[in-house]
Amino acid sequence: MLRERVIVKLKDADLKHLERLARVELSGESRAKLRRQLGDIIGFVQKLQEIDTSGYSPRAYLGGFEPELRRDGTEECLSRDEVLTQAPDALNGFFRVPSVIGREEP
């Protein structure tokens, strides 16, 4: 049923965008490999979307088994002060993290 391989070619601009989002810089060989792998994944997902699943229950694979779900509720947790004493950097009751907004993109 899913034997046919769908080939998806990603644009170089798409890969550069992903690199910027992930804050990585790939070599030519790595970029080519990633392009093939992501193309295969996207092609497979597109092929899966062609399958008509309208007659199936989302839980049909469970074979009648209904998992026991935990109850939602509140639990005791650490106080803000206890958490902040374990933080690498804190100021005025908040975590301090390096700024990423406005920083030059690689």
Mean pLDDT of the residues in the chain = 84
Residue 82's pLDDT is 93
- Contact status, residue 23 vs residue 106, Cβ threshold 8 Å: yes
More confident residue, 77 or 10: 77
Residue 39 three-state SS: helix
Domain ranges for the chain: 1-53
What mean pLDDT comes out for the span 57-82? 82
| Residue 65 DSSP one-character state | -
Residue 62 three-state SS: helix
* Percent of all residues in the chain with a pLDDT value above 90, rounded to a whole number: 22
- Decide if pLDDT at 48 tops 70: yes
Q: Given 1.10.20, 1.10.3470, 1.20.120, 1.10.287, which CATH number is that of 1-53?
A: 1.10.20
AA letter at 101: I
Confidence of residue 79 (pLDDT cuts 50, 70, 90): very high
- Contact status, residue 32 vs residue 9, Cβ threshold 8 Å: no
Residue 105's pLDDT is 61
- Decide if pLDDT at 101 tops 80: no
